[in-house]
Structure 1
Amino acid sequence: MAGIGFELKKIYRKEGIARAVAGGIYSSVVTIGPTVVVIVTLLFLYLALNMMKVSFMTRELLSSTILYVFIFSIILTAPFNAVFSRYLADKFYMDEYANILPSFYTGILILGILGTGISIPVMLSLYFRGGIDLPFILAAYVFWMSSVLLFFSVTYLHATKDYKIIAIFFLVGMLVVVLTALVFRFVLRADRIHSILYGMAAGFLTIAVLEFSYIKRYFRTVSQNYTECLWYLVHHGKIWLTQLLYMLGLYVHNFIFWTTQQRLTVAQTYHSHQSYDMASCLAMFTNISTMILFTVVAETRFHEAYQDYMESIIGGTYKAIQKNKKIMFRTLSQQIGQVFGMQLAITSVIFLVLLIFGPYIGFSGMIMEIYPVLAVSYLGIFLLYGNLVYLYYFDDTKGTLLSALAYFAGTVLGTLVSKNLPVAFYGMGAFFGMLCGFTASYFRIRYLEKNFEAHIFCHYKIIDTMKSSQKGRIVYQKQA
């Protein structure tokens, strides 16, 4: 995220409304732009191909395939992305670029094996139990593996700091999706769901290939060390597990509702709870702007305060260290409150709009009964992610792991109870998990504030990060 911060600092260097708008647009494009482009493309295809003429279960087969591909590809890649991001940061800091491309190949190999292993039981179930034709299954597999490669590659694209290229690749990919779907439907006379799935497979494969080619061209210096990054997966296992628990926490309440009697089963393979899943989706997008707000505030003001503190440790006086520490934590507290306040206002407006106009666009009944609690829950869940990032700044992997574990465990236990409550309280499981995780992360930050010197000087070595001839020199290291 630091690279995003550098770009934002360039934008905000000059004050003014235009600069503020430009910064907001840039943050939006980087954080949620690709997601919005994909959603708009799918909506266009559903309308252009008149999917309402397709039977309900046939539509659900396509929708469930897309849903499962997106959810599980994100869950699979997110933990690896967190560790490989740490690996890339270290390689860039030490000016060691030769091992970056080999690590990319190793990551692709690992995820390729895991992705294929996960997909085989699903494909066999679709074919033998669901009676789904082989072309559909193969297209779904291409779509799945392309998504896995795509989401993993984004980490390396971020390392290049060329964020515009990500948006360009997604725009090109979505153009391929539309053209492929239209050709299969109106030229080759394929049915609607096959046409859309073929389009998604072709489009996401295009994005994955473009990303792969760009990364291969960018990191030209190559070694033969393909295993160094594996040490990071072992040594930074807490980071891997933290990200896994957080991502599972985002969806585990949905998974539990997929086991209830109200679930919908498609092709004897896919399970879903339509009302709860749609309410979750609405709640998530109601609060997605939290990520934009956090990106702006964390990567500008807090990053500067953090740098000032770390540089005062390297060569400053005790008074300077204490002063910069107070500024850093005051900035952190202000930004948590600032993001919460702004997002609360945004959430309230969207919530009110959906309550008034939701029934006119198909959001009514059970969906709108479940939605309010989930809307509040996701506000806290995204704020929890911000707290985890702050803890990562302080290299507190123990704190992030405990917070993520509290969030995941609270969500599981809460949802096991809330699924038996009245419909309006279905989302209380996610709400309880959010409270557990956010509370744990908040008090962990407060604990660090009171014991920061012990955390800094008793747990790891301090390295000169300033741009000087002494860069990389160990300034302090705990004695064994």
Structure 2
Amino acid sequence: MAGIGFELKKLFRRKGLLAGLRAYGCAGILCTGPMLLGVLLQLGILVLCGWAGATKAEQDLLVCMVTDTLLASLTVTSLFAMPVTRFLADMLYEEQEQLVLPSFWGANALLLVGGCGLYGLFLLVSGATLLQGLLCLALFAEMIVNWNAMSFLTALKDYRSVLIAFAAAVGTAFGAGALLVLLARAPALEGFLFAVALGYGVMLMLDVWRLCRYFPDRQGSPWLFLRWVDRFLPLALTGLCTDIGLFAHLVLVWLGPIGVQVKGLFYGAPYYDVPALLAFLSILVTTVNFVVSVEVQFYPRYRTYYSLFNDGGVVGDITAAGEEMLAVLNRELFYTALKQLFTTAGVISLEALVMGYLPLGFNDLMHGYFRTLCVGYGLYAVGNTVLLILLYFTDYKGALGAALSFAGAAAGLTALSLRFDPAYYGFGFLAGAAVLFLTALLRLDRFTRNLPYRILGQQPVVAEEKAGAFTRLGLFLERHSLQKKEEA
């Protein structure tokens, strides 16, 4: 996001209404384009399924297989996502770009071995056929590399190519699906599952090609990044807990009274899933606003404040810069929350009218879920923004505490809500999102009350080298690689 903010600063320097609209439009496309293209892919494949005469059971199973595979791959890669980003930032700062690409392949290797092993076991007992299981496993492996590549691509400024990769994936999936199922008369489920895997495979190749072009030099150990996982273990757990809190309510509802067993271990809850997907789209305004308002407005003050510590600034200048930085931060967070509030209120107000024109079969229960989850996702969006600001101030323990609270509350309260009337199911996630918002906000307020002490007084006097399980794993793999080379 910082790279996007850098590009947007140039757009906002231009004067005039059209320049401002262009900047907001650029942020909207860059931040929400991939998400919207992913939704378009899911909906488009379902439309093609209908044209191909696929049964309702086949369509439901296709949605379950793709959804489970995407969520599983996201959860697996979330463990390394934040430490890898920190590793990349440190390597670029130290001008050690040649160490980046080997660690990319090392992270992929570990995630693929561990993730494919676990997901492969699930597929073996899931009730999927051999071909269906192999296609799901291939899609899972592709998405692990794709999500991991997106963590490394934060160094690139070629955002147009990022969107082109997503668009190419969607276009390839549509084209392959139409050729295989509509023209070649292949089985609908397997044909479209192959088309989706082929589309994301194209995105994988484009992402890896960009990485190889940006980091042509390749030196060093592929396991170096594991030391950063140990050094910043709270970052790894923060990413994992945030994803658990975001997805747990969906999985629990699948297994609840309104869940439907599509086939074997593939479950779904159409009455809940469709409103959840549409409600999630209501937070795109906060995603865009975080980049435009917080990154563009807050980051220059943040950089000025910390540079005064590094460059020997006087106390008066440091105090004035700190006050200005926090004033801008408070203002931008307030505007972010206000924009999300107005967006959520507007979406809820227009929901009944808009849904009436869409062939989604909304009933009263689904309308209720949609309104509840709109509020829940709105709270999550603002709370997650505050959590990211905690990471800016390197309050990793505070961010982890907020993420743990979110995961525990969202999962626990959703499980509790399943004991009551189905109309209350969405309130578990709403309450969990409220816990995230309040926990992160209170922690940020407490942390910034005495910021100079946090920056100077809480730093270790002697540099500490944390060597935990991940570091030992990396050393073991390095020794094993050296032995293989010597034997060869």
- Decide: shared fold, TM above 0.5: yes
Deviation digits for residues 129-187 of structure 1, max 9, x if unmatched?
A: x3x43222222221121111111111222212222111111122222112211111133
Aligned to 2:341: 344
Does residue 320 of structure 1 match 2:307? no
The residue identity in structure 2 corresponding to 1:224 is G
Q: Aligned with 2:457: secondary structure?
A: helix
- Cα deviation code 1:83-107 (max 9, x no counterpart): 1000000011111112101110111
Q: Cα deviations across residues 295-350 of structure 1 (Å, max 9, x unaligned)? A: 11121110011011112223221111111111111111111110111122222222
Partner Cα distance (1:356, 1:97) in 2? 53
Which residue of structure 1 lines up, in the alignment, with residue 270 of structure 2? Answer: 274
Equivalent residue number for residue 211 of structure 1? 207
Instruction: After TM superposition, give the deviation of residue 416 of structure 1 in Å.
Output: 2.4
Deviation at 1:405, TM superposition (A): 1.0
Q: Which residue of 2 aligns with 1:331?
A: 328
Q: Paired residue for 2:368?
A: 369
3-state secondary structure, aligned to 2:98: coil
Q: Which has the higher contact order (CA 8 A, sep 6+)?
A: 2
C-alpha distance in 2, partners of 1:44/1:60? 14
4+ long deviations beyond 3 Å: 477-480
What's the counterpart of residue 388 of structure 1? 387
Identity, in percent, stands at: 23
Please state how far the C-alpha of 1:62 moved relative to its aligned partner: 0.3
Note closer, same or farther for the CA distance 1:185–1:13 as it changes in structure 2 (3 Å cut). Answer: same
8 A contact 2:49–2:59 mirrored in 1: no
Q: Paired residue for 1:358, among 348, 355, 367?
A: 355
Unaligned regions of 5+ residues in structure 1, if any?
Answer: 462-476
SS in 2 for 1:271: strand
Q: Check whether the contact 2:106–2:223 (CA below 8 A) recurs between aligned residues.
A: yes
> What does 1:433-452 align with in structure 2 at a 5 Å threshold?
433-452=432-451
Deviation at residue 59 of structure 1 after TM alignment:
1.2
Q: 1 CA distance for matches of 2:227 and 2:25?
A: 38
Provide the C-alpha distance between the structure 2 equivalents of 1:436 and 1:52, rounded to a whole number of angstroms: 45
**Structure-2 residue corresponding to 1:464:** none
1:407-446 matches, within 5 Å, as 407-446=406-445
The letter of the residue matching 2:456 is F
Decide whether the 8 Å contact of 1:136 with 1:194 is kept in 2.
yes
Partner of residue 22, structure 1: 22
Q: Aligned partners of 1:262, 1:342: CA distance in 2, in Å? A: 34
CA distance in 1, matches of 2:411, 2:39: 29
In structure 1, distance between residues paired with 2:133 and 2:165:
25
Distance 2:154 2:12 in 1: 20
Q: Secondary structure at the match of 2:217?
A: coil
| Structure 2 unaligned regions, length at least 5 | 465-488
Picking from 182, 193, 209, the partner of 1:186 is: 182
Q: Give yes or no for contact 2:285–2:339 (8 Å, CA) kept in 1.
A: no
- Any residues of structure 2 matched to 1:438-477 within 5 Å, and which? 438-460=437-459
Counterpart CA distance in 2 for 1:445 and 1:253 is 26
Aligned to 2:295: 299
The 3 A distance-change label for structure 1 pair 407 and 42 is: closer
Q: Give 1:474's aligned residue.
A: none
Question: Structure 1 residue 111 and structure 2 residue 111: aligned?
Answer: yes
Give the deviation of 1:38 after TM superposition.
2.6
CA–CA distance in structure 1, aligned partners of residues 98 and 394 of structure 2: 26
| Matched-pair contact (CA < 8 Å) for 1:290–1:343 | yes
Secondary structure (helix, strand or coil) at the match of 1:15 reads: coil
- After TM superposition, give the deviation of residue 122 of structure 1 in Å: 2.4
C-alpha distance after superposition, 1:222-258 (max 9, x if no partner): 1132221110111111000011101100011122222
Q: Which amino acid aligns with 2:374?
A: A
Give, as a single letter, the amino acid of the residue that structure 2 aligns with 1:56. Answer: K
Structure 1 range deviating more: 18-27 or 419-428: 419-428
TM-score, L = length of structure 2: 0.90
Query: Is contact 1:384–1:441 with CA below 8 Å preserved after alignment?
Result: yes
The 5 Å alignment of 1:8-407 reads: 8-50=8-50, 53-126=53-126, 130=127, 132-314=128-310, 315-361=312-358, 362=360, 363-407=362-406
TM-score between the two structures when normalised by the length of structure 1: 0.92
Give CA deviations for 1:41-95 in whole Å, capped at 9, x if unaligned.
Answer: 3333333442584222211110101111221222221231111000000011111
Q: Distance in 2 between matches of 1:233 and 1:109?
A: 15
* Separation (CA, whole Å) in 2 of partners of 1:97 and 1:407: 36
> Which whole-Å deviations, capped at 9, do the CAs of 1:3-22 have from their partners, x for residues lacking one?
11101101111132212221
- The answer as to whether partners of 1:369 and 1:423 remain within 8 angstroms in 2 is no
SS at match of 2:97: coil
Kindly state the Cα deviation for residue 478 of structure 1 after the two structures are TM-superposed.
Answer: 6.7
What per-residue deviation string (whole Å, max 9, x for no partner) do you get for residues 404-443 of structure 1? Answer: 1111111122212222233332222112111222111111
Note if contact 2:369-2:423 (Cα within 8 Å) is conserved in structure 1.
yes
Aligned residues: 461
Cα contact 2:120–2:137 (8 A) shared by 1: no
